[in-house]
Structure 1
Amino acid sequence: MQKTLILPGLLLGLAFASTAVAADCPTLPQGAGVQWEETEGKSYKVCRAIDQDGTQLLGVMFTDSEPLKLRRRNRVEEGWVGQHVVVWYRPEIAEAGAAEKRITVVELDEDRYAQIWLDANDPDQLRRAMNLAQQLYLH
């Protein structure tokens, strides 16, 4: 009797675990001029906000483990991502083509995180990306 209960319980647990990370991309505000490009893996989902020119403005990665440790010395400013107060950091590794980059991590639930990064070529584009991040509801 116990053996037959273990298998359905295990399968239910695996089904729940596989859906824990597979969140939908956040709803983009109307008139933002960007659309999501989605990539999914076994333990993560990446949503990239791409504008009409094909330029990535920001990205969100949902994962079940904290994706990275951000160094205090790289803190740049405080801000918001949806309802979450965040600290934006300058990333350790600079990517070519993005003069202004920011990154932050938000803990959504126990063992569920969102890593958000902004890509900008100038201060105006950075403000646009931060404004978009402020309007994202992460669930």
Structure 2
Amino acid sequence: MKHYLALLVSISIAPATYARGVEVCPTLPVNAGLEWTYHEGPDFDVCYAAKPGSEANAFGVYLGNHPSFKPKDAVRIGKGRVANKKVIWYQQDPEDSSSAFGQQTLIVLDKKYGYVAHVWVAADTNQELQDRLSVLERITFKP
């Protein structure tokens, strides 16, 4: 009976572990035409947005306390909005992106705990970039 109960508990926990990715990633606008792929790190989460069935990522979001991106070391390229928050966009390092229009930003989500979102977007045309930035303006970070 104990083994049966342990098996039942482990089976019921497995879907909750998988669901964590969906719960951690920001909410995409209904008409975005994108879906998240989730990857869990040792102390961070990464969400990649892509068109269904595509392997090409439109943008990504790192959620954690120790992003590799440091704005002070990057080239500033303009202002914008992500999740209705004002941001400064920086040029993406060519080593990190092969897209013609790559940019990134850092958003402090919880100042007390140093929890941040490193957001990057990749696009091959200016129109593609504008479309993806429009989606990013309307995403919603979860508490």
* Equivalent residue, structure 2, for 1:116: 119
* Equivalent residue, structure 1, for 2:10: none
Distance in 1 of aligned mates of 2:127 and 2:34: 16
Q: 1:42 to 1:95 in 2, by over 3 A?
A: closer
Distance in 2 of aligned mates of 1:95 and 1:63: 19
Task: Map 1:40-79 to 2 at 5 A.
Answer: 40-52=40-52, 53-71=54-72, 74-79=75-80
Distance in 1 of aligned mates of 2:128 and 2:44: 27
- Aligned AA for 1:116? V
SS class of match (1:43): coil
* Equivalent residue, structure 2, for 1:31: 31
Question: Which stretch shifts more, 90-99 or 80-89?
Answer: 90-99
Please list the CA deviations of residues 83-118 of structure 1 after superposition, one character each: whole Å capped at 9, or x if unmatched: 311000102334564110010000100210000000
Percent same amino acid among aligned pairs? 25
Distance in 2 of aligned mates of 1:56 and 1:115: 15
Relative to the length of structure 1, the TM-score reads 0.76
* Equivalent residue, structure 2, for 1:18: none
SS class of match (1:138): coil
* Equivalent residue, structure 2, for 1:5: none
Measured on the aligned residues, the alpha-carbon RMSD in Å equals 1.9
Please list the CA deviations of residues 18-41 of structure 1 after superposition, one character each: whole Å capped at 9, or x if unmatched: xxxx86101111121110000001
Divergent runs of 4+, >6 A: none
Relative to the length of structure 2, the TM-score reads 0.74
Structure 1 residue 134 corresponds to structure 2 residue 143? no
Query: Contact (CA 8 Å) 2:97, 2:122: kept in 1 or not?
Result: no
The number of aligned residues is 118
SS class of match (2:71): coil
In structure 1, stretches of 5+ residues that fail to align are: 1-21
Distance in 2 of aligned mates of 1:106 and 1:50: 21
